[in-house]
A and B are shown apart, each in its own frame.
Chain A
Amino acid sequence: MTRYARDVAIIAFAQTDHQRRSDELSEVEMVMPVLHQVLRRTGLRTGDIGFTCSGSSDYLAGRAFSFTMALDGVGAWPPISESHVEMDGAWALYEAWVKILTGAADTALVYAYGKSSPGEVRDVLSRQLDPYYTAPLWPDSVALAALQAQALIDAGHTDERELAAIGARSRADAAANPYAQLAGAVPRGDMVVGPLHRGDCPPIGDGAAAVLLAAGDRARELCERPAWIRGMDHRIEAHGLGVRDLTDSPSTRLAAERAGAFERPVDTAELHAPFTSQEVVLRRSLDLDSRVRVNPSGGALSANPVMAAGLIRLGEAAALIHRGESDRALAHATSGPCLQQNLVAVLEGDSHG
C-alpha cells in the first residue's frame, strides 16, 4: 500500500454480552474484561501498548470526566501515552490509527463503553441538538429517525415491508452472535413513532468493546490473519435536519471514496444503522448490491451500546477477516441525529496462497 505511511491492522477484538441493564456493574467493571480479552489473545501486557485511546460520553454516564474512572481499568501505571474522544469508539480507533501512522507507536489499545440503562436514552440524545432552536423542543432520537424513514418512504426508496424485513434478517443473523442482546424471531411490534415499529428500532442496552491495532510485522507476529486497514476516513454533515436530504448520506459516500471502498467490491459490510431505515440510506450511499453480506453480526439492531456500537462494527468486520470468513470488508460507524457524521473503513486479509 502506498496510500499511507504504514500498514496498520486490527489484530484483536472483544465485546461484552450486551444487556438491557447492568446495574451491578460500574463502567470500569464492564470495560475490564474486554481489555483483558484482547490482551490475552495477543499475549501483550498493558506496558507493551504504545498508545491507548477510548471513546465515551459524560452525558450517558451522568457525570463529568467519566472516562477518568475507566482509565483505572487500563492500569495506567507506569504512566501511558493516552487520549480520549467524546465520540463513538470508532473515532478513538481513528485517532489511534493516525498515531501509529506517525510512527510514534507500533501498537494501540482502543476501547469504548456506554451504559444507556440509567437514563432515558431517547431523551439524553436530544441534548445533542442545536441548544438554541432544537434541543428546547426535546425531539427524541426515535422521532428524528422516523422523520428520516418517512422521507425515504415518500421518496419511494423503501416501504414498511422492506423495513420489517431488514429487522427480521438482522435478528435472525444475530442468533449466531453470542454477544447480541436481541436475536431470533422478534415480532415487529407496535408502532413507536410512525412509520417506525418497535422492530425497526435498536434495543436499548449497556456494553463495551475493545480492539488492538498493530503496524506491519508486529501485526503479523501477533495475529495469524491481521485485518489490514486499507483506508479509513470520516466526514460530517450540516447539523440542521432541514438543510439535509435525509434520504441520502453524502458524508458516508465521501468517506467511503476516500477510504478506497469503491476501488474493488467488498464481500461484507458492517453498517452502524441503529434503525432499519438507516440501513436503506447507507446501502444506497455505498452502492451495496445484494452480493454484499450486510451485518452478519445482526448489527446495531441486535445490540446498540451507544458510544461502542460503531467500534463494534469495525471489530466485527475485523473478526470475520481474522476467521477467514471475509477477504475485504467495509465497516461503518455513525454519530449524531439521522446519520449526521459517518466513518468508513476498508479492511482486508492477506490472501492465502
Chain B
Amino acid sequence: MAEEPVAVVGIGQTRHRAARRDVSLAGLVREAALRALADAELTWADIDAVVIGKAPDFFEGVMMPELYLADALGAVGKPMLRVHTAGSVGGSTALVAADLIAARVHTTVLTLAFEKQSESNAMWGLSLPVPFQQPLLAGAGGFFAPHIRAYMRRTGAPDTIGALVAYKDRRNALRNPYAHLHEHGITLAKVQESPMLWDPIRYSETCPSSDGACAMILADRAGAARAPRPAAWVHGGAMRSEPTLFAGKDFVSPRAGKDCAAAVYRQARITDPRREIDVVEMYVPFSWYEPMWLENLGFAAEGEGWKLTESGVTELDGDLPVNPSGGVLSANPIGASGMIRFAEAALQVRGQAGEHQIDGARRALGHAYGGGSQFFAMWLVGSEPPTT
C-alpha cells in the first residue's frame, strides 16, 4: 500500500520580535496555531494529533514544556509528540507530523514549533560547559566562523559575498510582515560597516534572537479536497544526521546535507534542482551559509555557489530566489526557524506568500540544519499532488 499523500492546508506565524512580552508561552503558540486553523478554516475539534518542536528547554527554563502547553494547543485527549533535533527541529517536527498522515495513523495533524528566546540568553544557553572539553566557544557564531573561513579559502570567494546575502535578506524581510527585523534604511554600506563579531561574520550578517512560533495544519488527500485554499503537497521529505566531530568531517559541505537533499530529490523525482526548483527557503543563520548550502544542496557545483549569489540569481527577481521571506537572518526563533522555512516554501507554492510571492512558484524546497552542521531536515513541496 502506497503512502497517503500529505498536504499543507493551513499555515500561521506569530509576529516575530526580539521580545514578545505581551504573551506567555501559551499565548505565543496559540497565536500561530489559531492563524493556521483560520487559514484552513478548521477548529481545534478537527485536529487528530499535535506534534510540537523546539530547541533546548533551557531557552525558556521549562522542562518538556509541551506538558504545560497541552491545554493551550487543544491537545487534551489527543496524542502529543515533542521533537527536539537541535536547530533542524522545526523541519524535523513537520516531517514527523507528515509521517503520521503518510502512514494513515491520522488524517489531520497540527504541527507547531516555537522559541521564546527573550526568556533567557540564547548565546550563553548554547555555551554550557561540557565535561572534559575545553570551553572554547561563545555562541554559535564562534563555532561556525572557522567553517566559513574554510569555505572562502577553499573556493577563493571574494570577501564581499556575505554582505550581499545579508543585504538581500534584510530587504526581502521588508515585504514580510511577520519578520522580526524591518530595517527600512538598510544599505549595502551599512552591512559592510557593521561591527565584526566573529571574523568574517559582521553584526549585520548574523541572525537576530527572536520570540516566535510557526504552525501548520497537515491533512490527507480528503482533507486537502475540503480545504478552502490551495494546498501545498509534500513531494519529498528526509532527515539525515552525522556525528558532531570526527576525523574527516567536512564542515563546509557536510555529507549528511548532501545525502538528505539527494533523498528528497529522489522522492520528488528531481534530477536538476537548479532548473526544476523555483524557490528555496534555506536555513542561513550567518550570511555565508547561503553560498555554502547552494553547493551542499546541489544548486551549484562545488566552489561555484558564491557566483550565484554574486550574480543576483538568488535575489527576489533572480531565477532561483533564496529566502524571499528574509530568512533566518531576519527572524530567528531558533526552534521555529526550520518550520518557518518549511512553511514559507509551502506558502510559495500555494501562491499565498503575499508581497514576497515568487510568481508561478510550483516547486519549493524548505531546508533546516542544526547542531554542529550535523542534523538536516528538508522537504520539497509542490502546487500539484504527487503523481503516484
Contact = CB atoms under 8 A, between A and B. Distances in A.
Given A91-B81, A95-B96, A64 B56 contact: yes
B80 A58 contact: no
Contact of A65 (B3, B263, B371): B371
B189 interface: no
Contacts of A238: 70-71, 76
B98 to A, nearest CB: 9
A141 B252 CA distance: 45
B79 A235 contact: yes
A85 B57 CA distance: 12
B333 to A, nearest CB: 16
Given A76-B241, A78-B259, A98 B103 contact: yes
Interface in A22-62: 26, 52, 57-59, 62
A76 B371 CA distance: 14
B82 interface: yes
B84 A85 contact: yes
A335 interface: yes
A140 to B, nearest CB: 13
B57 A86 contact: yes
Identify which of A104, A129, A336 gathers the most chain B CB atoms within 10 Å of its CB. A104
Given A79-B255, A81-B240, A131-B25, A95 B81 contact: yes
B84 A5 contact: no
Interface residues of B, number: 64
A128 B81 contact: no
B243 A239 contact: no
A71 B71 contact: no
B84 A84 contact: yes
Question: What does DSSP make chain B's interface, helix, strand, loop or mixed?
Answer: loop
Contacts of A26: 131
Identify which of B68, B255, B371, B372 gathers the most chain A CB atoms within 10 Å of its CB. B68
B371 A82 contact: no
A303 B243 CA distance: 31
A102 B76 contact: no
A222 interface: no
Nearest to A94: B81
A127 B56 CA distance: 14
Interface string B123-149: 001101111000000000000000000
Given A83-B83, A84-B84, A64 B125 contact: yes
A237 interface: yes
Given A68-B86, A236-B80, A240-B71, A102 B60 contact: no
Contacts of B241: 52, 71, 76, 79-82
Contacts of A72: 243-244, 246
A181 B244 CA distance: 33
B67 A131 contact: no
Given A5-B104, A72-B243, A58 B62 contact: no
Contacts of B255: 78-79
A67 B84 contact: yes
Contact of B3 (A52, A103, A132): A103
Nearest to B76: A238
Given A81-B240, A238-B76, A128 B99 contact: no
Interface string B342-368: 000000000000000000000000000
Contact of A131 (B61, B104, B375): B61
A236 B63 contact: no
B1 interface: yes
B67 A336 contact: yes
A104 B375 CA distance: 18
Contacts of B57: 57-59, 86
Contact of A233 (B55, B70, B79): B79
Interface string B8-20: 0000000000000
A280 B11 CA distance: 43
Nearest to B56: A64
Given A68-B371, A98-B105, A83 B62 contact: no
Counting from the closest, the 9 A-B pairs by CB-CB distance are A64-B56, A101-B103, A79-B256, A82-B241, A86-B84, A127-B63, A59-B63, A79-B242, A336-B67
Interface of B: 1-3, 24-25, 55-58, 60-65, 67-71, 75-86, 92, 96, 99-100, 102-105, 125-126, 128-131, 238-244, 246, 254-256, 259-260, 263, 371-372, 374-375
Given A103-B1, A103-B2, A236-B67, 12 more contacts: A5-B103, A58-B57, A64-B125, A68-B244, A69-B130, A79-B240, A81-B240, A81-B263, A83-B239, A128-B67, A237-B76, A341-B67
Interface of A: 4-5, 26, 52, 57-59, 62-65, 67-69, 71-72, 75-87, 91, 94-95, 98-99, 101-104, 124-125, 127-132, 135, 233-240, 250-251, 254, 335-337, 340-341
6 contacts: A58-B84, A64-B125, A98-B99, A102-B3, A103-B1, A237-B70
